[in-house]
Structures are given as C-alpha cells and as structure tokens.
C-alpha cells in the first residue's frame, strides 16, 4: 500500500483535530471558556457515533471506499463551516438555563449541529481502518501524525490568522482530502477530484467572512457588545492570537472611565481611555497620558493605591500589566523601578508601539521593564526581590457576577502561587490584590482564606497580623505582608480609608466599631468572615458558609468556583429577587451538558447498535465485557482531561494545554495500540488478559510517579521557552500514553474471539464512556482535585482485567503472574 493512498487519512485527521481545538477558541469569543469541555465531549460523540455507523454499514461503504471517503471528507468541509455558523446564530443563552427550560432545547441543537463535522471526519478514519485491516499500523501512523500535526498546527496558525480565516482553511483541508481520495475512484475520478479541489479553493478564498466570523454573534451579555451599543463607539483595532482576540474600542460620545475601586470622594475627572476587550469580555484600558503626574491624581483614590501609603519609592512587580493602568499608578506614586509582566505579546505591542503616543510611552520609560511571561512562571523563576507585588483587576465585573469563570482553572490565586509571591518579596514587602466586591462576598473571603493558608504554610503563627483588607463600593483590596503590620502601618491604612470613604474590613487591632462606616452593608460580611477564618472555628465557618470559600490549591485551582448544591434550592426560590445572580452558572451549565451528553450518546451510539443486534452471548459475559470497556473509556479520558488541566500551569494557557496534551495522548496512545500485539506476545505469552494486566500495572506506576513528580518538574522548568515546554510535555506524556493505548485493542481482540456480535457493542460502550468522561472529569476535578481524578482512573484501570477475564480466569492469571515458572 503506497503512502499516497493514506495521505487523505492524515489530512482529514489533521482537519478534525484542528477543528476541535479551533472551536474552543471560537466559543471563548462567542460565549465563554467553559465550552472547552463541551467541545471535547461533542468531538468524542461524533467519533463514537461514526464507529457505530461504520460497524453497521461496513460492507457497502468499503466496496465504494474512494467515493465514500471523498463524500465524508467533503461533508466534513461543508459542515465545519455550516455547523459553526448555525450554532452561533442559535438563540442559546446559557445564563438562562436554570429558569428557562427552553434553553435546554437550544443546547441540544448546538450539540446536534457541532456533532456533524466530527461524525463525518471520524467516518473517514473508520472507513480507512475497515478498508485496510491488514495495514492497521500504517493507517494508525497517518491518522495519529495527522491528529498531532492538526492539534499543534492550529496553535501556530492562530498566531498568523484570525479564527474566522482558520476555520475556512480547516474546512478547505477537508475538501483537499476528498479530492485526493477521489483520484482512486473507478469512474469520473479526475472530474470529481477537480471539482472538490475547486471547492477547497472556494471555501478558503471566496467564502463570505460573515459566515465564519464570531464577532457579530457574540453573547449580548459580554462587555464588548454592551460597549458598542453606545452611540459612535467604534472598533479602532483588532489583534488575534491563541491567547485571545483583542478588540480596542473608542467611545468619543460617552468616554470610557474605567477606574475600578475609585473613591466616591474623588473630584478629578479621569483621563480619556481606549478600552481593550479580550474575547469580548475581560477589560483593561489604555489611558491618554501626557506625562504630567498631576493628571493621574485620581488614581491615588482607588483601593489599589493603599500599599503606596505604607511603602515609599518601592521596587515593584505588576503581575498582569494589561493596558498599563497600574504602571501609571506606580509612576504617580514615585516607584523606583517597575517590572510589569504581561502574557500576551500583542497587548505589549499595542501599548508600546501602536498606541505609544496616546499612552505617553509608558512601556518604554527607563524605569519600566515589561516582561513577556506568564505571571506565575515569572514569580517562580525571577532572582529579583520586590517591595511591592501588585495584582490588578483585569477581568470584568459582569463575568464575575455571572459565575461564568467557575470552570476556569486559575493558578494565579492558589496557596502555592501566593507562597511563590511571598518568596520574591523583600523582608518588609507587601502583596496587593484587588478583586470585585460581590455581596454576599465570595471572591474576597476565598482570597483571604487562601492567603491565610499560604502564610501558615510558610510558618507564620499569627497570619492575621500580616493581612489588611479595605473595600470601596465595588472593589476590595487585600494586602498580604511578609512581616507583621506595625502600628504605623495600621494608622496609615486608617487615614487612607477615612480620606477616601473606604471601609476597613480587616487590619490588626480593629474592632466592630471601626467597620461598615461609609459604604454600609446590612451586615459586615468581610470583617465577620475574616474573624472566623482567623479563629479556631475556621473549618466550621467554611463548611457552613453559603458558598465554597475553601482555599484554592494547585490540585484544585478553581478559585472562581463557589457553588454548593445545598444552596441551590434557596437561591432558586429567590431568583425573582436577584438570587439567580448569585449562582455559578458555569458549573450548572456543565452539569446540564453532562446530562445532555448522556442522552445523546445513548441515542446516537448505543441505540443504532441495539436495532441491529445479533444473538448475544450469555448475560454474565456480556455484562463483564461491557463494564470492561466502560471502565477503559472513563479511565482514559479521566487521565487525559486531568493532564490537560494540570499542564495548564506549565504551558500557561488553556488552548496550549488542550492542543499539546490531546496531540500527545492521541499520538502515543495510537503507537501503543499499534504495538499492543507485540507487547502481548513478548510479556503476555499470547494471553491478552495477561498483557492487559501488565500494561495497567505499568499505567498505575507511571500515574503515581507523575502525581509526585510533576509539581517538582514544573517548579524547575517553568522559565523555559514555550517550544521547550511543549517538547518536554510530549516527552512526559509519551510513556504513559503508550501503555494507555494497549488495553482497548487487546480487549477488543479478546472479546471478538469469543463473540463477534459484541465488537460493535464494545466500541459503542467505550464511545459513550468517553463522551461522558470528558465532562465528568472536569466536574470531579472541582471536588476531589486532579490527584483524585487520576487516582479514580488508576483504580478503574486496575480492576479492568478482572472484569474482562471473570473471577476464575482472574484467579488463574494472578497465580501465573506471581508464579511464572508454574512451581
């Protein structure tokens, strides 16, 4: 079989995985980032349903292989564009799901539309395996090389073109694969190939941009959409990369005055601003600065200015430079040297070059050093020591209020992160963190609890003496000091709060009479919460609180997850009084998606197989075999999703983590599948169950090793360039993924030897489990952490061989393994 015959397989595999990664980017723009796990689930649903389809219609499809492959690849190209265009135009508003059951129908419609490209792409690959059963290894090679190239290539492509252009190119790739396959047709092959080639060119070049651009159909609840509703507001620049779509908006009629935490006592008008939205939501501003510090006096009246009342001419670090507002505050306060860290090179270029004159050249000043790095990685690897670390407020209030960030892994506000920040402080240094204020409070109390845990982990006996917290009408700023605050510091905090009508919610030595004086609440939640979190009843208070405010850790980095099931009934009864706004929608949407995925996977994967079922073997064996493939489907995706989440800390961005980890697991698991027979012959002595047992033992040992070793590896290698970290990630994944690729083909061969009727069922059950586990793994990680998810997966792998072999065979197998000489 010539390599050219399998080139279409590599191309369609690349296109399918590229589409999966790109959809995550597109839906981060149209909706929010929590759709990533839904996209993985949809992709797996398409693969599972296509497996059932190919199993049932194998003979006629294989007999017309070139035409069937070409048709499926062309349909992938068509639906890649049409499905996204249709899905983004649906009136689906995830924020309404709880009180509007009709939204469940639109969610199902989104699933049905987005499922189609994956179904057609996977059908091509399934046909190739059926057409070349004696060349499975070569088919796997083209499939997996294509998949890896597609997943990683999409990240590189998004540095060069906008997501809408990338979508057209990926769809065109499907038509290229179709054209190449059509050359193998018996009749009219060149006419078909030429027509499909022209279609590829047409979809890549002439397709109207409005069909694929996500911007016009962005959620109406995103900040960008609301900003553009203002008369004469206009987009003056757009930049795109895998890190986000940056949209710069000018509003001359109603100028932007985005100064979070500004005091009600302020009398100076803020300077003109350009708003910079990331994916239509998270907002920062570029301020029109003429170089006169006096024009920035209003910044002295924000909660973020508090540390400058304690520190004089500090050497400071800003983690999240954004458009430069905190750099301006530092310059206004007379900071000696400013190191500003920003993860997005395009944001740096906007302030330093494109809008340099407008911004007063602040990123080019001799005492301002801008570093392109991820905040956590920079803090963990720098040799400098700072008087002040400022962590500004870059996300939007609407996203925080809606709870759409709850599924977003965030390694910036974990216990381990704060310990890293404390390490790079000078002995009298301070960390200042500003967050939006919500009532009843969630973010601030969770941050307070996390800071307390970090201080205690560093050996501080009385963390309350190292903490100070003030609030305005809409923000709160927490100070975390390396050394205890002294009386002079507390006096400065009191003066600053009084001058600006800010309320002190915690400082050493304050009492009930000192709090809730200006921006009065019915109850001083923050002061009462701080007292409880610093006292002996901390655990009970945290458990009783309406929201989850337990400290975030690297094992459970869901800082914005505050959801508690027991609070749901009460909040729903209060929804007409504003209670619905207190719900964490991201969590509920994921749960709804899990239920939806279970129904659709049963309908699209298992039901077709049930309709064409043959006479089954006895029920006991059927149950055991079914449980085996269920366990494998759950275990494989549990580890894969846990690694996506865990490697986010190392790779620095969700899209990088998804693309690299998926590519690594697909490629190396496929290699494991290809060599599974050799593994069985070498160590299993021809016994599939013995080979599987030894493979899962290796999986368990490697998984346990990674749980212990990954934090240490990440700590030492975080400062490496992205390319080096991607290579290291693939090397780390390789051994584990190779062995994870063995149990499925070995189990399929074992089952097929006993009953061919069970092979489609095994495929379908594994597909259903995979669809569910992509979402279930994310939900479990929020409750038991990554360590818990990997531990569950390891247990599933270890029990799988016993399910396959049955009690008697398992006992005999255990004896053979423990006594290989048969003594």
CATH of domain 301-561: 3.40.50.150
Average pLDDT, the chain: 83
CA distance 791 to 307: 43
Cα R_g (the chain), whole angstroms = 28
Mean pLDDT of 773-792: 88
Q: How confident is the model at residue 745 (pLDDT cuts 50, 70, 90)?
A: confident
For residue 1, the model assigns a pLDDT of: 44
What does the longest C-alpha to C-alpha distance in the chain come to?
A: 91
Q: 572 or 224: whose pLDDT is higher?
A: 224
Ramachandran class of 102: left when φ > 0, alpha when ψ lies in -120 to 50, beta otherwise: alpha
Give DSSP secondary structure letters for 37-72: HHHHHHHHHHHHHHHHHHHHSHHHHHHTHHHHHHHH
Q: 623 or 561: whose pLDDT is higher?
A: 561
Give strand ranges (E) for 242-359.
244-250, 273-278, 282-287, 315-319, 337-342
**Helix, strand or coil, per DSSP, at residue 26:** helix
Give the range with max mean pLDDT: 593-607, 633-647, 749-763.
633-647
Mean pLDDT of 235-251: 90
First-residue to last-residue Cα distance in the chain: 48
C-beta atoms surrounding 566 within 10 Å: 7
Q: Kindly tell me the number of DSSP H helices and DSSP E strands found in the chain.
A: 29, 12
Pull the structure tokens for residue 90.
């649906």
Using one digit for the tens of pLDDT, what is the confidence trace for 512-533? 888 988 888 888 889 999 999 9
- The CATH 1.20.1250 domain(s) of the chain lie at 1-218, 597-823
**Phi, psi values for residue 229, rounded to 5°:** -75, -20
Using one digit for the tens of pLDDT, what is the confidence trace for 598-621? 777 777 666 665 665 554 555 556
Mean pLDDT of 675-686: 78
Give the 3-state secondary structure of 495-514: HHHHHHCCEEEECCCCCHHH
For residue 385, the model assigns a pLDDT of: 95
Of 40-49, 268-277, 465-474, least confident by mean pLDDT is 40-49
**Phi, psi values for residue 165, rounded to 5°:** -70, -40
For residue 223, the model assigns a pLDDT of: 81
Q: At residue 371, does pLDDT exceed 80?
A: yes
Using one digit for the tens of pLDDT, what is the confidence trace for 447-500? 999 999 999 999 999 999 999 999 998 899 999 999 999 989 999 999 999 999
Helices 136-160/654-674 angle, 10° precision: 170
Give DSSP secondary structure letters for 326-364: HHHHHHHTT-SEEEEEES-HHHHHIIIIITHHHHTTGGG
Q: At residue 398, does pLDDT exceed 60?
A: no
Q: 788 or 52: whose pLDDT is higher?
A: 788
8 A C-beta contact, residue 148 and residue 670: no
Q: How confident is the model at residue 687 (pLDDT cuts 50, 70, 90)?
A: confident
CA distance 500 to 306: 10
Pull the structure tokens for residue 611.
């309709």
Q: Which helix (H) or strand (E) holds 709?
A: helix 688-717
For residue 191, the model assigns a pLDDT of: 59
Strand-by-strand arrangement of the 368-372 sheet: 368-372, 337-342, 315-319, 386-391, 425-436, 475-481, 467-471, 503-506
For residue 627, the model assigns a pLDDT of: 83
Strand-by-strand arrangement of the 244-250 sheet: 234-241, 244-250, 273-278, 282-287
Q: 716 or 460: whose pLDDT is higher?
A: 460
For residue 404, the model assigns a pLDDT of: 46
Q: At residue 206, does pLDDT exceed 70?
A: no
Q: At residue 788, does pLDDT exceed 80?
A: yes
Beta bridge partners of 478: 433, 469
8 A C-beta contact, residue 360 and residue 290: yes
8 A C-beta contact, residue 185 and residue 66: yes
Pull the structure tokens for residue 111.
């699933």
For residue 337, the model assigns a pLDDT of: 93
Percent of the chain scoring above 70 in pLDDT: 82
Q: What is the pTM of this model?
A: 0.85
**Phi, psi values for residue 320, rounded to 5°:** 110, 75
CATH class of 597-823: mainly alpha
Q: How confident is the model at residue 405 (pLDDT cuts 50, 70, 90)?
A: low
CATH of domain 1-218: 1.20.1250
Q: Is 65 exposed, middle or buried (0-12, 13-18, 19+ CB in 10 A)?
A: middle
For residue 397, the model assigns a pLDDT of: 45
467-471 and 425-436 beta bridge pairing: unpaired
Q: At residue 581, does pLDDT exceed 60?
A: no
- The CATH 3.40.50.150 domain(s) of the chain lie at 301-561
Mean pLDDT of 332-344: 92
Of 192-201, 445-454, 556-565, least confident by mean pLDDT is 192-201
């Amino acid at each position: 079989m010539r390599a050219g015959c399998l080139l279409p397989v590599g191309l369609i595999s690349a296109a399918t995985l590229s589409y999966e990664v790109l959809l995550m980017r597109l839906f981060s723009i149209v909706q929010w980032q929590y759709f990533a796990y839904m996209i993985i689930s949809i992709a797996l649903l398409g693969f599972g349903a296509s497996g059932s389809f190919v199993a049932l219609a194998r003979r006629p499809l294989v007999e017309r292989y070139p035409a069937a492959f070409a048709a499926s690849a062309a349909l992938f190209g068509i639906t890649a564009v049409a499905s996204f265009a249709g899905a983004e135009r649906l009136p689906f508003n995830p924020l309404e799901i709880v009180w509007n059951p009709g939204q469940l129908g639109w969610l199902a419609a989104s699933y049905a539309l987005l499922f189609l490209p994956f179904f057609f792409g996977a059908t091509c690959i399934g046909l190739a395996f059926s057409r070349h059963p004696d060349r499975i290894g070569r088919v796997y090679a083209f499939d997996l090389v294509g998949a890896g190239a597609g997943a990683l290539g999409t990240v590189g492509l998004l540095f060069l073109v906008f997501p809408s252009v990338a979508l057209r190119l990926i769809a065109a790739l499907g038509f290229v694969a179709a054209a190449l396959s059509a050359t193998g047709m018996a009749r009219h092959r060149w006419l078909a190939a030429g027509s499909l080639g022209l279609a590829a060119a047409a979809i890549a070049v002439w397709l109207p941009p409005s069909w694929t651009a996500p911007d016009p159909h962005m959620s109406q609840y995103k900040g960008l959409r609301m900003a553009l509703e203002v008369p004469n507001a206009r987009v003056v620049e757009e930049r795109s990369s895998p890190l986000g779509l940056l949209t710069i908006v000018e509003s001359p009629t109603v100028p932007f005055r985005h100064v979070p935490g500004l005091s009600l006592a302020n009398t100076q008008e803020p300077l003109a601003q350009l708003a910079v939205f990331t994916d239509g939501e998270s907002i920062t501003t570029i301020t029109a600065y003429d170089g006169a510090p006096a024009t920035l006096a209003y910044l002295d009246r924000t909660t973020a200015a508090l540390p400058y009342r304690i520190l004089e001419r500090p050497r400071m670090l800003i983690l999240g430079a954004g458009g430069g507002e905190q750099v301006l505050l530092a310059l206004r306060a007379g900071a000696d040297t400013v190191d500003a860290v920003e993860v997005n090179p395009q944001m740096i270029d906007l302030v330093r070059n494109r809008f340099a004159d407008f911004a007063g050249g602040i990123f080019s000043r001799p005492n301002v050093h801008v570093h392109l790095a991820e905040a956590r990685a920079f803090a963990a690897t720098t040799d400098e020591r700072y008087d002040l670390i400022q962590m500004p407020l870059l996300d939007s209030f609407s996203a925080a209020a809606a709870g759409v960030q709850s599924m977003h892994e965030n390694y910036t506000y974990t216990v381990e992160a704060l310990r890293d920040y404390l390490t790079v402080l000078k002995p009298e240094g301070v960390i200042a963190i500003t967050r939006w204020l919500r009532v009843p409070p969630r973010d601030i109390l969770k941050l307070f609890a996390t800071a307390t845990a970090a201080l205690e982990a560093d050996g501080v006996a009385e963390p309350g003496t190292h903490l100070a917290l003030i609030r305005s009408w809409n923000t709160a700023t927490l100070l975390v000091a390396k050394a205890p605050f002294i009386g002079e510091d507390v006096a400065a905090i009191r003066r600053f709060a009084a001058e600006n009508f800010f309320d002190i919610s915690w400082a050493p030595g304050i009492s009930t009479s000192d709090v809730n004086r200006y921006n009065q609440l019915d109850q001083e939640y923050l002061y009462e919460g701080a007292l409880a979190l610093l006292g002996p009843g901390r655990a009970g208070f945290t458990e009783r609180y309406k929201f989850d405010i337990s400290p975030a850790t690297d094992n459970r980095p869901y800082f914005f997850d505050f959801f508690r099931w027991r609070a749901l009934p009460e909040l729903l009864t209060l929804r007409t009084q504003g209670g619905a706004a207190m719900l964490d929608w991201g969590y509920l949407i994921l749960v709804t998606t899990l239920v939806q995925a279970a129904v659709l996977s049963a309908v699209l994967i298992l039901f077709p197989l049930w309709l064409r079922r043959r006479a089954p073997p006895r029920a006991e064996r059927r149950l055991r075999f079914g449980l085996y493939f269920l366990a494998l489907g759950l275990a494989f995706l549990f580890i894969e999703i846990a690694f996506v989440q865990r490697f986010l800390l190392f790779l620095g961005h969700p899209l990088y983590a998804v693309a690299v980890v998926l590519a690594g697991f697909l490629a190396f698991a496929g290699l494991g599948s290809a060599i599974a027979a050799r593994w069985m012959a070498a160590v299993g002595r021809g016994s599939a169950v013995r080979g599987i047992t030894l493979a899962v033992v290796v999986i368990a040992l490697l998984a346990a090793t990674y749980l212990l070793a990954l934090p240490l590896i990440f700590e030492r290698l975080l400062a490496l360039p992205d390319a080096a970290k991607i290579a290291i990630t693939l090397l780390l994944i390789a051994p584990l993924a190779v062995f994870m690729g063995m149990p499925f083909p070995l189990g399929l061969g074992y089952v097929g030897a006993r009953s061919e009727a069970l092979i489609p069922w095994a495929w379908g059950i594994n597909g259903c489990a995979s669809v569910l586990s992509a979402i279930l793994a994310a939900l479990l990680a929020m409750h038991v952490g990554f360590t818990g998810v990997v531990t569950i997966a390891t247990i599933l792998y270890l029990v799988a061989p016993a399910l396959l072999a049955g009690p008697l065979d398992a006992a005999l197998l255990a004896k053979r393994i423990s006594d290989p000489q048969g003594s």
